[in-house]
Every structure is written in C-alpha cells, then in structure tokens.
Structure 1
Amino acid sequence: MNTDDRAAGPGRRAATSTSRRPTPTAVLGMLVPLLTVGALVLVQPDTVPDLTRDPASTSLTRTTIVCPSAVPDAETVAVANADPEVAGQLELDDDGEVLDIGAGEVPDTDSDAPLVIRGADDLAPGLLAGRTGPAAATACVSPQPEAWFTSVGAGAEHRSVLELVNPDGGPAVADITVMGPDGLLDVPALRGVTVRGHRTERLDLADVVPSRDDLSLHVQVTRGRLASSVLDTVEDLGTDEVAREWLASQAEPASTSYLLGLGAGKGDRVLAVANPSDDEVRVEIRLVAARSEFAPAGIEELTVAPGATATVDLSKVLASKAARDALGVRIDATGQVTSTIRTLVDGDVTHAVAGLQLTDRSAAVVPTGTKRIVLAGITRVGEATVVMRTSSGKLLEPEVVDLDVGAAARIRLPAKATYVEVQLARTTAVGNIELGSRGLAVLPLEPLVLSGQIADVRPALQ
C-alpha cells in the first residue's frame, strides 16, 4: 500500500485530478461583452449636421423709409432711387397721397410731420430720402430692430427728444436703455414703450430722465417695427440762441471707429463714448488727416466704466496747429463702444457719428450748395468713383479718387448735385458728407439696400 492510499483511510477514495472544459454558455457569457465593446469602438457616431443657414437673398419688392418731424426751415424731403432708369409713384403716409419720381430725378415734397415713404416693385431697391434745411439735415431711415444714439442731452442747455415712428397698422413696442456717466440708469418709463399703429411717440429726455451729463441710448424694438430718430437742441441760456440738429444713430458698437466731419472754425467739440458691456473699456484717440493718422499731444487715454458714457473735450486739441488739417477722429477701444463728436460753432450744432465700413455702393440725398465727401478707414489700395445727379436727373461728370491705406480723402462736390453715390473698388472705407461752407450738417453715407433677406426657417429636431 502506498502512502497516498493510507492517507485516504478505509472506505475513501483518493481524489483524482481531472481537466474541465468550459460550457458553451460560459463561452458566450465572456464573448458577448467583449464583442459589444469592440463593436462600440468600431462604430463611428453620426456627425451632427450644422442646421444653421445664412439668410437667402431675394428681390426687394417693397421698401419703407421714414423721415422724422421737421424743424423750422427744414420741411423739405427729397427722394431718389439709385437706378437712374426707373420711374413711377411713391406712396406717402397712408392717406393715398403719392409722389411722382421720373427716371433719375430727385423730387421733393414738404411735410412738417413725420413722413412715411413706400416704394414698390422697381422703385423698392435703392430707395433713399433726406430731410434738409439751411442749417440742419438728416437721412431718412428704414425701421430697424435696434439703434444706438451717443451723446444725447437731458438738461436745460443740452436737450434731446427721441422720436419713435410706427409705419404699420399694429402696435410696436420698444425698450430703451440709458447709459449715464456712472453706468446704466434705471428708467422704468423707458421700458415697454408702446407706439400704436401709424402713430408717433416723442420722449423728451429732460422730462423722462433729467440730467446735466451726456447720456447715450440703446433702442431695442421687441414687437413690430419702429423708425428711431433723435432731435438734439443746444441752447445758450445767456443769449437765447437755439441750435437744433438731428443726431444720427450708430448701427452697432465697434472697437475701431471713424468719426468724420469736423467742419471748420473755432468752437466747442466734445467726444462722447458709450460702453454697453459689463467690463471697463479703455479708448485711444487719434486724429485723421489727409496723409496719416496720429496721436496728438495733450490727449490721454479715456476710460469708460461698464454701461456708462464718458466724455472728453477736444476743443483745444482740434484748434491746435497740429490738427489744422484734421478731417476726423479715430478711436480704438479694448471693447465694443459707440461714439459721437458734438460740435458747436457760431451757434450751430453738428454731430460726427461713427460710420459703417462701406464695401461697395453707398449713397445719400443732399441739398444744393456747398458739400464735401470725407473718406477714411481705407483698408487696401483702391479707388472711389463718385456718381452724381441733379434734381432733374442730369448725370454730372463722375469724380474718381485714388485711395491709400492710412490716408483720408476730402472730395468737393458740385453745388447742384442732389444725389451722390460712392462706388468703392478693391477696398473698403468709412464715409460721411459735410454740408455747408463751415460744416453746418454731417450726413452719413449709407450702403444701398438692393435686395431683401429671407431667413432659413425649418422644423426643429425633436
């Protein structure tokens, strides 16, 4: 008997070593998870499609533009179309009155009240208008969802009135934000301002939000359509002299802006900068001359608090010998801001508002008399062709000007021109038009609206 048999003891059998094979169920239990993990690794998830689409361009078959209420001696409204071949009738207001416009002509009409002008079919693309007088002028505007007005007044000497015109039958609503010297102001009366159909609402800021400081406005239309404008009044309480001028809006805040059209003569020139952001912004100021842009001595960096409006007096700097040939001011900010230069010379007030960067065709309706185009912010070497027509539709000799980076151009226009169009080639630029021998008014050059936009709207994914 061997030792192992003895250890087993009587009636017991020694354990025998045997090999066991895994069952099919056990094999599947191990393989299925491994195969699942492998499949997940190999399967590439579907790429989520980009559902955003740019608006599609379409033919413009109807255009509405609105001219603000008149000031004394500025009742005339002139209308033009960019296409010198089209002719027809324009609808005025909603009372059935029409204005005939011949091919290439710039007809005018008189109106003290806000004037709504509607062009249909061929007259819709390129329709524009302006209200002018001996010492005041403004471009008529299309209803916009938002507008920015910098350097408005709400005091005894500097006072502004915001005018909201509803060109449609249904009510429209706007929220108006006010930026003061220390930040946003809480003005409940300017929230949810309702304008009934075909009506006008005027808000005198001196009554709504009285202040001695320069303020800025952001108008946001939350329902319907509204055309926004501001009439600015500066009064010399000692002499009872009153100067009135419309303050043009800025389309949107920008980090770099050109304010062109300083006029001539010694006077008061104040730069106002509004900061709609939640962060402090620093602003550098440079002068724009015909051959260069430079920072003159005596101008320090401007700091603007969040939601605030800050001002700096440029009167001495712009009256200095170094600024003798200055055509405008450039500002560079660390954030997005809006800006305006308000000028008071010989009892007349004008505004140079930051303009859009123009890319192709821009135009304006202007009165007869002395006027000049000022171009700056030129991005590449190119040229500008100025096309002009008289009120009777006569085409004047075009002016072609070479443009260079870092330079600016001032182009004198014929006195009889009433339609002015600037066509840019190989470059972009910012442009304004100075009216009068001493810069009695400044009009912005606006891009021509020749087509409409249709939003890409599709069912949302569930």
Structure 2
Amino acid sequence: MLRKVLLSLAAIVVAVGLAVGASLLTPARKPPAQTVDLVRATKLTCVGAGRVLVLGDADISAAPLGEPLAAGTRGPLDATIDAPTIVSANSLIVGGVLTSSPVAGYTPCTAPMPSGVFQVADPASTELVLSNPDANEAAVDLTLMGPDGEITAVGSRGIAIAPGVTRTIALSVLAPEGPVGVAYTTSQGRVSVLARSVPGRTVPSISARPAAEQSIIGGIPPSAQGVQLLLSNPSEDRLDVSVVAFGATSTYEPAPAADLTLPPLSVLAVDLGTSLAGEASGLRIDASQPIGATVLVGPAGAQNALSPGEAAESLGVLAVDVETVQVTNPGVAPVTATLTVGDLTMQVSVPAGTTVSVPAATSGVAAVTVASDTPVLADAVSADGKVVFPLAPTVEDASVAGVVVADPSLR
C-alpha cells in the first residue's frame, strides 16, 4: 500500500517538473511571413474575322481557340484572324478585333466569365457566339428579356460547350422580335459571349458584360445620328433608372431618359433623339440593382455599339487611323490628363462632369494612352465616327492585385 502511494507521489512530482520545465523553455522564433507577388496572367477571347489589335509590352501569345498557345512575341500585336482566337500574356493587355464588314467596328476581346448581360435591337439579324477557352466543359443558361417581361424559349437552358469549342446560336430562334436583353449564367465553367450579325445582315457586334448598378458609356461622337440607349433588368424587381449625360460643358439629364422604370426581366429602348445637342458625350446609368446597358449610334444598317467602360487613371488601346480622342471625366473635380497618340503627346484639361474631344489625327496603327491623377474614361474615334476604340485599364488595380502572404512555418 505504502509503495503505491510513493509511486503515485513520484508520478505527480515528475509531471509537475515537466510542466514547469516546459514553461521555462524559450519558444523557437517563428520565421517572418513573406509577401509574394503573383504573376498577372491575362487570357482574352477574340471573336470575329478581322484584325486583332493587342496593346501590351510583354510577350503576347495567340492561337485559335482549342489549340495550344505558341511562344509569344513582344507586344503590341497586330495580326489577322478568321476564327475565335485566344491571346495571352503574363501582364495586363488590352485587345480587340477591328472589322470592316458587314459593319465597320471594333469589338473588345473579353475574358471568360460565369455570367454576363447584353442587349440587341434586332434579334432576327443576330446570332450568339459562345466560346469556352477553359479546359473544362461549360454549361450555360440563357434568360431572354423582352419589353413585356421574360421570354420563354425552348433550348435556352443547359447549353453544353466542350473545352476549346465555340457554339453559335441564332437568336431569332429564341426571340424573333426586338429589342431583347440576354443574361447568361453558367452552372459550371466560364464562357465568353458575343452577339454578332448573321450572314447577309448588318448589325453591330456586342460583347457580354457584367451587369452593374452603375455603368458609364463614353465615345458618343459629335453630331451622332440615331443615338439609342438599350437597358435590361435581369432581376425580379421593378427598378427606377436614372441617366445623366456628360456633355461638352456640363452634366445634365437627357429629356427622353427622365423618370425611367424597368419592370422585372425586361428590356427598354430609349431614343435619345437630339437631346445630346450634337456634342461629344458620355452617359452614366444608375439603378438600385445591377442592370445591362448598351448605346447604339448611327442609322439602321450602319450602327456602332458602345458598351460600359471602366474609369481608371491609366488607360490604353491599340487603334487604327484615329481622328479624335474623347475623354470623359465622371468625377466632381477637374482633371488634367496626359494624352499620347503614337508619337504625339499633349496635356488635356477636362472639367468635372464633362466630355472633351481632342483632335489627334494619326494614320495607321498607334498606341493611344491616357494618364491622369483621378479615374477617367477615354475613347479613340475614327474620322467618320463609325469606329470607336474604347480605352481600357493598363495598370492593375492595387486593391485587387494578386498578392499572397506565405507562412514559412507551414510545411
């Protein structure tokens, strides 16, 4: 009995000693965490037959959709394509396709997305091009919106697109009359979606964009004819929409766009008529929930489609035969921007809430860049106003840049 008591006491003493000793040990110093910048990789899908123009100073690779990317060449890139093409670089690049027929225009290349929205005026003349540049299958659901609400269409759900494959769908089969808004979502994978003219017709190409509570569309040229604003509401709620124009001297509300309401799952066409006073202009569209917006410029058969842009401090595009550059300042303070078109550089002052059109005639291919201290929008416009090259951000937003913190203590 005594022996058991002594053994128990000894065990307790040993345990206490171990605990005290452990508490006196100096912990090993933890290595400091390291911040690692991720390599920025841009992969864009360019659809259409024409001239692909890509601005960037890194090595740019290009290959038809579904084929391996070859070794890149130093940018910028100016090449001819006749099928959906992937362009890629390990830095931020800006690309688009310049077409001459059936309608002259410029369509930005886009990154694949799990959802997007766009609007077309004439679905009977339009086909959808759905491209899957990824290594996994994509499944796409389309929601079609008409002036009176959602359009139920057979074949608009569960559209399967194999990796590296493009599918073309006649929009006239799903919605024969316009205008129509189209929202897409993927239950798996990502796609790039383009609306373009069917053979023998002349409608502008429009790339799908994310729906947004606020959209800013620039590039409406002076003396533009037939300016029409298309809006779509992919939500289940009725939404009030406000529209303001950034004109040559002030910000104002175009009369035809006053007091707009969008019913659920509907599309609305607003003819702006002469309300923009023939000035170079931009539009800001606001709603309480994300909506889609497109501006059509020009007479039927020769329209150009303008999509929402992204205001930034550093913008650029590779353009051809530029006549003017329009800079829109959506802010509340004046901006002085540095505009470069090829070898031409100038300072441009843009009052708050206005659009300035700057003569910058250049023949041939030229890099067009704008740098400012606060975000602006900019668009390069051809001499006849039929081709608009929207400038896009050329510097990564620091708030969303890919940075990870590596913990060296983890193995």
What TM-score, normalized to structure 2? 0.78
Decide which of 199, 203, 217 is 2:169's aligned counterpart.
203
SS of the aligned residue for 1:212 comes to coil
Partner amino acid, structure 2, of 1:330: R
SS of the aligned residue for 1:206 comes to helix
User: What's the counterpart of residue 101 of structure 1?
Assistant: 73
Partner amino acid, structure 2, of 1:251: P
User: What's the counterpart of residue 167 of structure 1?
Assistant: 133
Decide which of 292, 299, 309 is 1:338's aligned counterpart.
292
Decide which of 394, 397, 402 is 1:453's aligned counterpart.
402
Following the alignment from structure 2 to structure 1, what is the Cα–Cα distance between the partners of residues 140 and 167?
11
Measure how far apart 1:316 and its partner are.
4.3
Following the alignment from structure 2 to structure 1, what is the Cα–Cα distance between the partners of residues 354 and 40?
39
Following the alignment from structure 2 to structure 1, what is the Cα–Cα distance between the partners of residues 359 and 207?
22
User: What's the counterpart of residue 237 of structure 2?
Assistant: 279
Does residue 125 of structure 1 match 2:91? yes
Following the alignment from structure 2 to structure 1, what is the Cα–Cα distance between the partners of residues 193 and 312?
25
Structure 1 residues 57 and 316: CA distance shift in structure 2, 3 A: farther
Structure 1 residues 60 and 245: CA distance shift in structure 2, 3 A: farther
User: Could you list the per-position Cα deviations for residues 369-394 of structure 1 after superposition, in whole angstroms to 9, with x for gaps in the alignment?
Assistant: 434233231243332222444xxxxx
Partner amino acid, structure 2, of 1:378: G
Partner amino acid, structure 2, of 1:272: L
SS of the aligned residue for 2:135 comes to coil
Following the alignment from structure 1 to structure 2, what is the Cα–Cα distance between the partners of residues 175 and 433?
35
> Structure 1: which 5+ runs fail to align?
1-55, 390-395, 457-462
Does residue 372 of structure 1 match 2:325? yes
Following the alignment from structure 1 to structure 2, what is the Cα–Cα distance between the partners of residues 139 and 229?
10
Correspondences of 1:293-304 after superposition (within 5 Å): 293-297=251-255, 300-304=258-262
Following the alignment from structure 1 to structure 2, what is the Cα–Cα distance between the partners of residues 409 and 192?
46
Structure 1 residues 407 and 80: CA distance shift in structure 2, 3 A: closer
Following the alignment from structure 2 to structure 1, what is the Cα–Cα distance between the partners of residues 240 and 356?
28
Following the alignment from structure 2 to structure 1, what is the Cα–Cα distance between the partners of residues 147 and 60?
48
Structure 1 residues 414 and 99: CA distance shift in structure 2, 3 A: farther
User: What's the counterpart of residue 384 of structure 1?
Assistant: 337
SS of the aligned residue for 2:45 comes to strand
The alignment yields a C-alpha RMSD, in angstroms, of 3.1
Q: Contact 1:89/1:98 (CA < 8 Å) preserved in 2?
A: no
User: What's the counterpart of residue 385 of structure 2?
Assistant: 439
Measure how far apart 1:204 and its partner are.
1.3
Measure how far apart 1:292 and its partner are.
0.1
User: What's the counterpart of residue 9 of structure 1?
Assistant: none
Following the alignment from structure 1 to structure 2, what is the Cα–Cα distance between the partners of residues 216 and 455?
39
Decide which of 246, 249, 271 is 1:288's aligned counterpart.
246
Partner amino acid, structure 2, of 1:142: A
Q: Contact 2:55/2:93 (CA < 8 Å) preserved in 1?
A: yes
Measure how far apart 1:244 and its partner are.
3.6
Q: Contact 2:331/2:353 (CA < 8 Å) preserved in 1?
A: yes
Partner amino acid, structure 2, of 1:424: S
> Structure 2: which 5+ runs fail to align?
1-34, 406-411
Measure how far apart 1:449 and its partner are.
6.0
Correspondences of 1:106-117 after superposition (within 5 Å): 106-117=76-87
Decide which of 38, 53, 71 is 1:78's aligned counterpart.
53
Q: Contact 2:329/2:377 (CA < 8 Å) preserved in 1?
A: yes
Does residue 328 of structure 1 match 2:287? no
Structure 1 residues 205 and 383: CA distance shift in structure 2, 3 A: same
User: What's the counterpart of residue 115 of structure 2?
Assistant: 146
What TM-score, normalized to structure 1? 0.70
SS of the aligned residue for 2:107 comes to strand
Partner amino acid, structure 2, of 1:350: N
Q: Contact 2:220/2:282 (CA < 8 Å) preserved in 1?
A: yes
Aligned residues: 365
SS of the aligned residue for 1:418 comes to strand
Structure that is richer in strand per residue: 2
Residues 126-135 or 291-300, more deviating: 291-300
Residues 128-137 or 257-266, more deviating: 257-266
Does residue 312 of structure 1 match 2:270? yes
Following the alignment from structure 1 to structure 2, what is the Cα–Cα distance between the partners of residues 421 and 60?
23
SS of the aligned residue for 1:168 comes to coil
SS of the aligned residue for 1:245 comes to coil
Following the alignment from structure 1 to structure 2, what is the Cα–Cα distance between the partners of residues 264 and 346?
18
Q: Contact 1:266/1:345 (CA < 8 Å) preserved in 2?
A: no
Decide which of 233, 256, 260 is 2:218's aligned counterpart.
260
Measure how far apart 1:420 and its partner are.
1.9
Q: Contact 2:244/2:285 (CA < 8 Å) preserved in 1?
A: yes
User: What's the counterpart of residue 136 of structure 1?
Assistant: 105
Does residue 250 of structure 1 match 2:182? no
Tell me which structure has the larger Cα radius of gyration.
1
Q: Contact 2:61/2:87 (CA < 8 Å) preserved in 1?
A: yes
